[in-house]
Amino acid sequence: MKLKGLATGIGSLPYKDADPALDLIFKYVPEIPFWPQLPKRDVREGMLAQFSEKLPCLRVSREGVFFSALEDKDKELEAFYEHIISGDVDYFKISADFASGLHKFYQRLEVSFPEGIQYIKCHVTGAFTFAAGLKDEEGNALLHNPVFMQAIIKGLAMKALWQINLFRKFNKKIIVFVDEPYLGCFGSAYTPVNREDVLRGLGELTQALKAEGALVGVHCCGNTDWSIFTDTEGIDIINFDASGFLERLCLYSSNLKSFFKRGGMLCWGIVPTQELSSLETAGLLVEKIKAGVEAFVDKGLDRELLLDRLMISPACGLGTLDTASSEKIFKLLSEVSFTLRGQTP
């Protein structure tokens, strides 16, 4: 797959209505459009609540999603696994109340499908980030409850499979990003999970999506042990914060060689989202990418492969920002993409 500087977004945008969010997406990232998460619109569009429908013992209130042990857990788990075992993907659909951007994105594509689209990007919160953000009745993160952790992995995989099935009708290659910000500190005291469990969990979720023909990416906006992603065979694309952690990723050159050898790609989160200054220009960001490519080449990676399998994005989601900043970030992103592809905006 040759990406050569194509641009996309991560997920969240700071709009309360889907239409202006979609206008932004189709204007600035028309080759790889994505459906927008709108956490400012409704608490149900938060990155945990949005994917909580039909997962066992999870409820949503005005404050967000929470674990409820008031009812029969075993009964809920039994009913949940009946749908898993039967392959009932539609049972796990994401409703319009929880993702208005997804449904309006689909409707726009159905009414008038833009000619320039090369890929359609979907996303789902990763199992480790999801489980780390929820606590059981004893106050422990579901991350450490093996029964519910396994249910979360399977449920989120079904949420992603439902998206693949929904957008398959448009006959474009589908990219699914698994968003794992929690793993940004993997290896520290703040992420008390072992490597084997991470590889197993990532592998189980991503292989289910690979089996349906999707390209699978992982988004991690912090510093981490990048080998947990390069060594997970179901991951095709690693999305990293190129402004903050390029040098750290270079330390994993041997892992990256194996990753590229099996067809891996990098999505450079090249436009800063939290520390964007008025001095940032497309030219400076392009130079940063070029310098980064040379740093990887110095570590023994192939220049042509790096350039062919290079896509770009903002460093992270934009849900906490204002709309003016969001527009500025996507405009810069578009200009960088045009420059990398040798085109004129």
Rounded (5°) CA angle 327-321-28 = 25
Residue 86 lies in a domain: yes
pTM over 0.85: yes
Residue 25 lies in a domain: yes
Which backbone phi and psi does 122 adopt, to 5 degrees?
-120, 180
Token duo for residue 271: 């436009």
Residue 89 lies in a domain: yes
- Give pLDDT, residue 277: 76
Q: What is the pLDDT along the chain (345 residues), one digit of tens a residue?
A: 567 899 999 999 999 999 999 999 999 999 999 999 999 999 999 999 999 999 999 999 998 999 987 668 899 999 999 999 999 999 999 999 999 999 999 999 999 999 999 999 999 999 999 999 999 888 899 999 999 999 999 999 999 999 999 999 999 999 999 999 999 877 666 667 899 999 999 999 999 999 999 999 999 988 899 999 999 999 999 999 998 889 999 999 999 999 999 999 999 999 999 877 778 899 999 999 999 999 999 999 999 999 999 999 999 999 999 999 999 999 999 999 999 998 766
Strand partners, 215: 175
Residue 345 lies in a domain: no
Residue 196 lies in a domain: yes
Strand partners, 70: none
- Could you give the maximum distance between any two Cα atoms of the chain, in Å? 60
In angstroms, the CA 295 to CA 299 distance is 7
Residue 62 lies in a domain: yes
Token duo for residue 94: 């994401």
**Closest CA relative to residue 129, chosen from 142, 145, 147:** 142
Torsion over CA of 278, 22, 245 and 204, rounded to 10 degrees? 170
Which CATH number covers residue 31?
3.20.20.210
Residue 1 lies in a domain: no
Residue 146 lies in a domain: yes
Our count of domains for the chain comes to 1
Token duo for residue 167: 């957008």
Query: With left for phi above 0 and alpha for psi between -120 and 50, is residue 67 left, alpha or beta?
Result: beta
Determine the structural domain holding residue 132 and report its residue range: 6-340
